[in-house]
Amino acid sequence: MPFQQGSARTRQRTVLLVGIVVLVVALVLAVVLASLLTHREEEDDLKMLKWKNRGTTKNLQEVVLGRCYNYVTARYPELGDKDCLKIWDSLKHAFIYKNPCNITSEDYQPLMELANHAIPCNKSLFWSKTNDLVHRYTKSNQNFLTLEDTLLGYIADRVSWCGDPSAPG
């Protein structure tokens, strides 16, 4: 009989040891899987940040500054007091190094204030998504304006920009 008790204890210890090993292996697997899934979600988040359209216009700073100077010196010299460098800096700070999904209208508020100017009385402002039609119409009738007739509209016409929290921004 003492032999059977030793055998039963050995069997209990073996079952207990196997149970502990199984639990440890399951815990390690759970940690590894959680790590892989978290890493995959981070990769998916980074993929979501990838702009699938044209991306930022090449030489954006030069385009913005050139258009701004052209607008305030050649097209509307009465706006000559606008500081194009400050306008560029304000635009840049609105989006650079920022996740494009987290940018708010408040980010662009300083730009709106810097580029603000009066619209002449008795002029209607047209949304210009119907670009060709609206521009032909406003050219033939001087009582109307398009968004591109404003400083910000002129600067941003057919230009794109997109921020990125990582370098180079």
* 123-134 pLDDT tens trace: 776 665 677 788
Say what the pTM is. Answer: 0.65
Q: What is the pLDDT of residues 4-26, one digit of tens each?
A: 566 778 888 888 888 888 888 88
Number of Cβ atoms within 10 Å of the Cβ of 39: 10
- Crossing angle of helices 60-70/84-95, nearest 10°? 140
Which has the closest alpha carbon to 71: 152, 126, 138? 152
Q: What is the pLDDT of residues 53-86, one digit of tens each?
A: 667 889 999 999 999 999 999 988 988 789 999 9
Please state whether 81 falls in left (phi above 0), alpha (psi between -120 and 50) or beta: alpha
pLDDT at 165: 84
Residue-level pLDDT at 16: 81
> Which of the four CATH numbers 1.20.82.10, 3.30.1490.20, 2.40.50.140, 1.10.1370.20 does domain 60-156 have?
1.20.82.10
In single-letter form, the type of residue at position 150 comes to T
Alpha-carbon span 5 to 102, nearest angstrom: 69
Q: What percent of the chain has pLDDT over 90?
A: 30
Give how far Cα 85 sits from Cα of 24, 66, 115, 131, Å.
62, 10, 11, 28
Give the Cα separation of 81 and 114 in Å (integer): 10
